[in-house]
């Protein structure tokens, strides 16, 4: 029996403490040998169904069911049951009951195969939610005829009507994005990008999106047909044009020859006239030029007369100006010499004043220095006399000197004693340092054994070794302690047992770093993996320690089978490392045996029920079948140990470390004693120096009085000499001032005279400059006039010569014109008084107007005319006929192109209405899909893929995923990813559609079978969070098993499916009695 069950609370760790169902109202009949214990949970009526959601499913004689009614909830419906119990039968009932084809499930191709064996008829009834009134669809299957009878709301109808009603509710049981049965799970990854796009459009796109896509594909097909038709007609038209082009040349040659002959005739008639006209124009030009030159000669002769007169006048002015300039230059020279003389005398007076001032300054400085020295000497004499008065008598100092000598002798004796103690302490320190070095060498030998482990790590896993070196230099970056790879932290108690540990722990975890904090691990991996690009592994130790957890069975019980230890007792390791190994590898539960264990292995397996066993050379893994309860064992030979064979006696090393600490403590005590002795010795040294200084001062004071008397006598003599050497500064200053005033009076008179001479000199210079400017202007004007006169004379000679030449040429051209006119009239057959006919004038206008052009054109036309030979007059008729045919074909091609352009406009309009919403839809799917993958520490993206934007039948949705940080995004295919990775990708894509979906429900059957526990848990959490949101469509999730401690939602509906020979008949099932028994078991269990 399958009944709906709604969870009221999240289950706890122990199954026996799960929340019990409290609503017996959902009890329904079951199949006879395949029944489900009902576990209903309350359904809140306030949670509305989405339009088209399934409200009720009834199956009668269908696959494994006799009769069964299922009432799913409006949100997530989780159908749970062992394999073979009938979970997928519910999926088949949904598909067939909604007019789906049997091939959709991948089980059978005939509908009769879905009727229970031994029955002639079967029935499936589906009730769908509609706001206007629920829709009940019934399908009765006849096995013998392999036909179905259809009913809507108990009224007979046809399958087509049912399909229309189902399609109106946007239900697509043939769409893998909406309906994914068990046997089709693998086919989802096999869907091509094109098929996935079509399924997604139908599943979540607006109703018109897929219709627009189909229209685009049809429009594109018609566009290709029109393009092909236009191309064919264009090619045929080009062939006709090319063929006519060949005939066109013959036609053109025919007419071309006639044109050439007519043109030759006209050119021959025009040539004499052109020749006459050229000579006439030349005559007129020469005549005009001769008249102009004659007038120019006259003007040049008249212009030379005033120019000659002006040149003579300017020359006279120039002579007068040059004479005046010479006079001014002589006057300036005389005035400049007088200025120089006065300036030299003034400079000599300034020098005399400066010398007097310097002499006075020297005498003033000398007098000031003498007064200062006298004052200093008097002060020194006074100080010496005062010091002499205070000086002691020599006889009173001797007792003090003797007392200081005795104290000095006593201090020296104490110093000698202290230095002896320092020597003893130094000897003791050297002895302890030798002992410390010996113990340190022993510790280094132990560390060398650890280095052997590190060398093996470096040789095999270089990236891990480099990461260890980085960690040792950067431990301050982590908040908690970080342990080096497990193979370095493990220390075998006996290296013979290393093979058990290396065979039990994977090589990836043996070289993994162990962290106590998730934050520390992320910091480490970001630096090592992302920045340094090193491939390393890292694990987190459990928050609660498992290191001291006791085994489920004591070792004494197992010794009878030859077991001598558990794996945990074979080695030492830090507590977090040991805790990780106990939690993930259960080393506290895996015993190690001997050859005796292998000899009786069958008995050991049957009696102990151990899951893993190690003998001397083999490893046994024992499993128990879920269905048959049979014990299955497998054994493998142990590999030789490679990394853990190096053993370090940690107890001895710890003893050496304690010994080293004791030696260091004694050394510190000795060094402290030495420091105290050094301080004492320093104090005695200081006292010795003080006594010696006092003794020295007393001895100096004995001789000081005699020295003072000698100094006072010497200073008095010096003072007397300085007072006798006196200088009268006032007299010297008065004399110097008088001399300076006299010199300044002389200097003022000289400056006045110099100023007058400078003014005279400046005036003369100005007059000279003015004369020079006038002279320069006159000379410039004269040069210009002379240059113009010479140019005019030369021009006059040339012009007269040119006039003579032009007059001779005019007479010669006049005679030639008369001769050419006579010849031109003869060519045109004209009399002396006749004019040129109009037809000739019209034809002459289109012909060249120069002889060279006419002669060149005549030669060219004669050559061309001679080339046209063998022409056929019928060519013109055939050419005209093909021209008409080409015109007709061009018009047809134009109509086709207009039609093609209309299709292209239609494609552009439909494409805009289809592609932009589709891109937005795919972007939303990609956002959901990427977020789901990011939450799993993986990466995935969905994009719209096409190779050619115009090939609308080649558009598709591409799914790319990445499950490891070291790899790149790869397209989801049936071959590149593993089965579990494909299942995760499929599920997350369907979840991305769930929130965007406009379909009323979605079915996913056993998609979690290939997933590992971590991904299965993550995917389940996403399914619950997504499918249980408000206003989401209904969701059916079928699975034969679930992990422990999964999160549940109040909006979920859980359907348990059970089967077996001892299941109760439906009429005997009492849900209330079952709940009471369940409560009693739950309440009594803690007391036990």
Mean pLDDT by 10 residues, the chain (1088 residues): 35 29 34 36 52 90 85 88 82 86 73 85 91 90 87 89 84 70 58 72 68 75 77 81 75 74 77 82 84 82 79 82 83 82 82 82 79 81 75 63 78 79 80 79 70 81 92 91 89 86 91 93 92 92 89 88 90 90 92 90 86 90 78 87 72 73 84 83 81 75 69 77 73 81 83 84 84 84 81 81 84 83 76 71 76 80 73 72 81 80 74 75 75 76 77 79 77 72 71 66 72 75 78 82 82 82 68 78 58
pLDDT at 17: 28
* CA–CA separation, 907 and 920 (whole Å): 20
Beta bridge partners of 537: 512
Sign of CA dihedral 212, 217, 219, 220: positive
CB-count exposure of residue 197 (10 Å: 0-12, 13-18, 19+): buried
Q: Please, what is the angle between helix 193-204 and helix 875-935, to 10°?
A: 70
Contact criterion met (CB below 8 Å) for 963 and 976:
no
Residues contacting 102, CB < 8 A, separation 6+? 96, 108, 109, 110, 111, 113, 114
Strands (E) located in 120-253:
121-128, 135-142, 147-152, 155-157, 179-180
Q: What pLDDT score does 14 carry? A: 28
Q: Tell me, what's the pLDDT at 430? A: 81
Token code pair at residue 1055: 């359907």
Contact 492, 647 (CB under 8 A): yes
pTM, two decimals, is 0.38
CA nearest to 68, candidates 96, 122, 31: 31
Rounded to whole angstroms, what are the CA distances from 887 to 231, 243, 593, 876, 901?
17, 14, 103, 17, 21
1021: number of CA atoms within 13 Å, CB side?
Answer: 13
Q: Say what the pLDDT of residue 971 is.
A: 75
Q: Within 10 A of 835 (CB to CB), how many other CB atoms are there?
A: 8
pLDDT at site 41: 36
The answer to whether the Cα torsion of 270, 272, 275, 281 is positive or negative is negative
For residue 1049, CA distances in Å to 41, 210, 488, 595 come to: 11, 35, 46, 54
Decide: 542 and 675 in contact? Cβ < 8 Å.
no
DSSP 3-state of 602: helix
In whole angstroms, what is the distance from residue 137 CA to residue 356 CA? 140
> Which is it for the CA torsion 811, 814, 816, 819, positive or negative?
negative
Q: How far apart are CA 1082 and CA 19, in angstroms?
A: 10
Instruction: Report the distance separating Cα 278 and Cα 849, nearest Å.
Output: 9
Q: What count of other Cβ atoms lies within 10 Å of the Cβ of residue 676?
A: 12
Q: Are 769 and 337 in contact (CB under 8 A)?
A: no
- CA proximity to 274, closest of 849, 853, 858, 852: 849
Residue 63 is encoded by which pair of tokens? 């696959």
Are 22 and 42 contacting, i.e. CB atoms less than 8 angstroms apart? yes
663 and 436 in contact (C-beta within 8 Å)? yes
Phi then psi dihedrals of residue 128, to 5 deg: -105, 140
Contact 940, 977 (CB under 8 A): no
pLDDT of residue 40: 35
pLDDT the model gives residue 203: 62
Q: Which residues contact 725 (CB under 8 A, 6 or more apart)?
A: 370
How far apart CA 250 and CA 240 sit, in angstroms, is 16
Quote the pLDDT of residue 467: 93
Q: Rounded to whole angstroms, how far apart are CA atoms 36 and 1066? A: 10
Considering only CA atoms, which of 338, 334, 339, 322 is closest in space to residue 768? 322
Token pair for residue 551? Answer: 């085994």
Residue 1007: C-alpha distances to residues 253, 303, 985, 1043, 1046 (Å): 84, 121, 10, 14, 17
């Amino acid at each position: 029996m399958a009944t709906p069950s709604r969870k009221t609370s999240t289950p706890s760790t122990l199954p026996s403490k799960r929340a019990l169902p409290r609503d017996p109202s959902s009890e329904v009949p079951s199949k006879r040998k395949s029944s489900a214990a009902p576990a209903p949970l309350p359904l809140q009526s306030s949670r509305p169904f989405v339009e088209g959601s399934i409200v009720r499913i009834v199956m009668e004689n269908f696959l494994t069911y006799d009769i069964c009614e299922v009432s799913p909830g409006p949100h997530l419906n989780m159908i749970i049951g062992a394999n073979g119990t009938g979970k997928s039968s519910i999926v088949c009932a949904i598909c067939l009951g909604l007019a789906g084809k049997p091939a959709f499930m991948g089980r059978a191709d005939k509908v009769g195969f879905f009727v229970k064996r031994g029955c002639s008829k079967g029935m499936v009834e589906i009730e769908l939610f509609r706001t206007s009134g629920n829709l009940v669809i019934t399908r009765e299957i006849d096995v013998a005829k392999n036909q179905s009878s259809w009913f809507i709301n108990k009224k007979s109808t046809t399958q087509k009507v049912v399909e229309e009603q189902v399609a109106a509710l946007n239900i697509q049981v043939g769409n893998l994005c909406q309906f994914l049965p068990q046997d089709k799970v693998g086919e989802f990854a096999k869907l091509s990008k094109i098929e996935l796009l079509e399924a997604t459009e139908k599943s979540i796109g607006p109703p018109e999106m897929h219709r627009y896509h189909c229209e685009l594909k049809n429009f594109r097909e018609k566009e290709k047909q029109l393009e092909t038709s236009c191309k064919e007609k264009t090619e045929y038209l080009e062939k006709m044009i090319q063929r006519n082009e060949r005939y066109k040349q013959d036609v053109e040659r025919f007419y071309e020859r006639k044109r050439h002959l007519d043109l030759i005739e006209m050119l021959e008639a025009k040539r004499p006239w052109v020749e006459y006209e050229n000579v006439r124009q030349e005559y007129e030009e020469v005549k005009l030029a001769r008249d102009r030159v004659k007038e120019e000669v006259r003007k040049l002769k008249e212009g030379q007369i005033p120019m000659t007169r002006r040149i003579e006048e300017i020359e006279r002015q120039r002579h007068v100006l040059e004479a005046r300039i010479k006079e001014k230059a002589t006057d300036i020279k005389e005035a400049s010499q007088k200025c120089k003389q006065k300036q030299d005398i003034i400079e000599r007076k300034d020098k005399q004043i400066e010398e007097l001032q310097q002499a006075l300054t020297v005498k003033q400085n000398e007098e000031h220095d003498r007064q200062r020295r006298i004052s200093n000497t008097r002060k020194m004499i006074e100080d010496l006399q005062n010091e002499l008065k205070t000086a002691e008598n020599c006889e009173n100092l001797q007792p003090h000197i003797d007392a200081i000598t005795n104290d000095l002798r006593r201090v020296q004796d104490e110093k000698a004693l202290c230095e002896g103690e320092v020597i003893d302490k130094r000897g003791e320190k050297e002895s302890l340092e030798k002992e410390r070095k010996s113990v340190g060498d022993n510790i280094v030998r132990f560390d060398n054994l650890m280095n052997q482990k590190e060398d093996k790590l470096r040789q095999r896993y270089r990236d891990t070794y480099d990461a260890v070196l980085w960690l040792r230099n950067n431990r301050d970056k982590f908040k908690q302690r970080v342990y080096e790879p497990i193979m370095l932290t493990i220390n075998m108690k006996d290296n013979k047992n290393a093979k058990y540990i290396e065979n039990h722990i994977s090589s990836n975890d043996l070289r993994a770093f162990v962290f106590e904090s998730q934050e520390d691990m992320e910091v480490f991996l970001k630096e090592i993996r992302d920045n340094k690009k090193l491939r390393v592994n890292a694990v987190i130790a459990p928050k609660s320690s498992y290191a001291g957890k006791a085994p489920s069975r004591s070792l004494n019980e197992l010794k009878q089978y030859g077991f001598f230890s558990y794996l945990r007792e074979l080695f030492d390791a830090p507590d977090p490392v040991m805790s990780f190994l106990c939690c993930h590898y259960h080393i506290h539960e895996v015993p190690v045996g001997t050859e005796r264990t292998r000899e009786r292995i069958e008995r050991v397996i049957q009696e102990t029920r151990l899951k893993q066993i190690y003998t001397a050379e083999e490893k046994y893994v024992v499993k128990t079948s879920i269905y048959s309860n049979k014990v299955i064992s497998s054994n493998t030979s142990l590999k030789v140990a490679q990394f853990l064979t190096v053993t370090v006696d940690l107890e001895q090393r710890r003893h050496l470390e304690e010994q080293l600490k004791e030696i260091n403590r004694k050394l510190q005590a000795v060094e402290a004693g030495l420091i105290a002795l050094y301080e004492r010795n320093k104090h005695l040294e200081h006292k010795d120096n003080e006594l010696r200084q006092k003794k020295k001062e007393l001895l100096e004071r004995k001789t000081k009085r005699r020295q003072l008397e000698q100094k006072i006598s010497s200073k008095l003599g010096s003072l007397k000499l300085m007072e006798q050497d006196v200088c009268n500064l006032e007299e010297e200053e008065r004399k110097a001032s008088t001399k300076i005033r006299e010199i300044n009076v002389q200097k003022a008179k000289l400056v006045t005279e110099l100023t007058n001479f400078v003014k005279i000199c400046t005036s003369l210079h100005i007059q000279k400059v003015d004369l020079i400017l006038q002279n320069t202007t006159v000379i410039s004007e004269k040069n210009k006039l002379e240059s113009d006169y010479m140019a005019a004379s030369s021009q006059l000679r040339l012009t007269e010569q040119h006039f003579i030449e032009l007059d001779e040429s005019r007479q010669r051209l006049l005679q030639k014109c008369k001769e050419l006119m006579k010849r031109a009239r003869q060519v045109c057959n004209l009399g002396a008084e006749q004019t040129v006919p109009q037809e000739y004038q019209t034809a002459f206008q289109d012909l060249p107007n120069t002889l060279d052009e006419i002669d060149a054109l005549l030669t060219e036309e004669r050559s061309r005319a001679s080339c046209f030979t063998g022409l056929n007059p019928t060519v013109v008729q055939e050419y005209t006929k093909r021209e008409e045919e080409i015109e007709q074909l061009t018009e047809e091609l134009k109509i086709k192109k207009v039609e093609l352009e209309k299709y292209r406009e239609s494609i552009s309009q439909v494409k805009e209405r289809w592609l932009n919403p589709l891109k937005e839809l795919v972007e939303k799917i990609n956002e959901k899909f990427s977020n789901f993958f990011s939450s799993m520490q993986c990466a995935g993206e969905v994009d719209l893929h096409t190779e050619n934007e115009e090939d609308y039948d080649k558009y598709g949705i591409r799914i790319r995923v990445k499950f490891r940080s070291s790899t790149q995004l790869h397209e989801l295919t049936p071959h590149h990813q593993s089965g579990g990775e494909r299942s995760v990708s499929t599920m997350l894509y369907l979840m991305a559609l769930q929130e965007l979906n406009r379909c009323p429900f979605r079915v996913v059957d056993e998609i979690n079978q290939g997933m590992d526990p971590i991904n299965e848990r993550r995917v389940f959490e996403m399914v619950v969070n997504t499918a249980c949101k408000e206003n989401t469509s209904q969701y059916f999730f079928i699975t034969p098993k679930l992990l422990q401690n999964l999160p549940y939602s109040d909006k979920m509906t859980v359907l348990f499916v059970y089967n077996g020979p001892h299941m109760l008949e439906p009429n005997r099932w009492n849900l209330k009695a079952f709940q009471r028994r369940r409560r009693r078991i739950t309440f009594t269990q803690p007391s036990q």
